[in-house]
Amino acid sequence: MRHRPPCPGGRAGSLRGRTGGALPGADERRPAPARGQHPEGSVFANLDPNTLAADKVKVPSLLNALEKFLPTTKFVYAKGADLNSDDVSNIPSAVKVAGEADAVILVLGERSGLAAECTCGETRDSADLALAKGQMELAKAIFATGKPVGVVLINGRPLAIGDLVEKADAILEAWVPGEEGGQAIVQTLFGQNNPGGKLCITFPRSVGQVPIFYNHKPSGSKSNWFINYVNESVKPLFAFGHGLSYTQFTYSDLAIKNPSVTVGESVQISLKVRNSGKVAGDEVVQLYLQDEIGSLPRPVKELKGFARVSLKPGEEKTIQFDVPVNLMAFYDRNLNLVLEAGKIKVYVGSSSEDIRLSGEFNINGAPKMPVKQREYACPVQVL
């Protein structure tokens, strides 16, 4: 399986229309045109809507993309269920079609947007994170056929899909894939594209886990002193940074150069990554740090650097992070930005939960050292 920057420069820019005229100032106010009319000189004046037909974007469906990609293969299709409905009347026909096939591509998810029929997007909040009842009943019926089932999710938010994870042979998270999404999905399903995406959010097991995030404080992400909920684990369904590939990657040789540093200095952390599988692929190497003991509780881990590396089968590369120690600065009880002396734990892995290598370095100096400005970037090299 695989959250937007402010206005550049932090200032509002002047807006210009097609005619090149700036918006009128306070001393030259003009009456707004009545609805249905257009300002003088507008490119929309006297526009014939029929002339736009030739420029209409034609978006191929996933079925269209499948038939184009494999023209000699027979694909059979059935709707099965609506996006947001409890109606199960179409499921028998979908099961019949699935029974005739060698394998099933089961497309589930949501419709993103602002309209009333949309199930995800701005102003389209939900009290649950599960798929609609009709979709889940469809999935159960398809799994019951015993056919190999690959699930494609088209959605704009994390979903609670524990039942799908247990029974699907594979799940491809396509998110909201855009105009060429059908083609991209097909290329990934059939191995022409090796997926290399990583989750930038956390998938919960159920809505009761929300909010759930990887960089919680040591006392967080627990139900009680027994840690887990009465009826399920507190662990995420899919962790921040998770994402699978058609190949495998091996991590080795973690090295921490100059493991004793102070304010304003950097620590060099390097490791080797090898494609130990049979096909070329991309891995996203993730560096997490933890300030184990602080004057205030610090997160159990924080992502401080990452690098995408493309590797052929058997190929190995070195990833080098030059970590500014000021990345570990935080605001204390008096709202002063400080760096505190102590041990910093190092974790490197394929996700926030899939940690492959670990080590540590030390920050030396006074118990609290003032930092003038926060740092956010960690230079990284692929060698």
Tell me the per-residue pLDDT of 8-37, one tens digit each, with 9 for 90 and over. Answer: 334 333 333 433 343 333 444 444 444 455
Closest by Cα among 30, 169, 196, 20 to 105: 169
Per-residue confidence band for 226, with pLDDT thresholds at 50, 70 and 90:
confident
Q: Can you read off the two tokens belonging to residue 258?
A: 């100059």
Contacts of 140 (CB under 8 A, 6+ apart): 163
Q: Region 29-50: what's the mean pLDDT?
A: 62
What's the pLDDT score for residue 380? 98
Q: Can you read off the two tokens belonging to residue 184?
A: 């991209």
What's the pLDDT score for residue 36? 52
Whether this prediction's pTM lies above 0.75 is answered by yes
- Give the chain's domains with CATH numbers: 62-193 (3.40.50.1700), 249-382 (2.60.40.10)
Does the pLDDT at position 223 exceed 50? yes
Q: Can you read off the two tokens belonging to residue 36?
A: 């249905």
**What does 97-147 look like in DSSP terms, one character per residue?**
HHHHSSSEEEEEE--BSSSTT-SBSTT---S--SPPHHHHHHHHHHHHTT-
What's the pLDDT score for residue 1? 40
More confident residue, 51 or 11: 51
Per-residue confidence band for 321, with pLDDT thresholds at 50, 70 and 90:
very high
Q: Region 235-258: what's the mean pLDDT?
A: 96
Tell me the per-residue pLDDT of 81-102, one tens digit each, with 9 for 90 and over. Answer: 998 989 999 999 999 999 999 9
Closest by Cα among 226, 173, 167 to 202: 173
Contacts of 234 (CB under 8 A, 6+ apart): 209, 221, 222, 223, 227, 228
Question: What residue type is 76 in one-letter code?
Answer: V
Closest by Cα among 341, 347, 378 to 362: 341
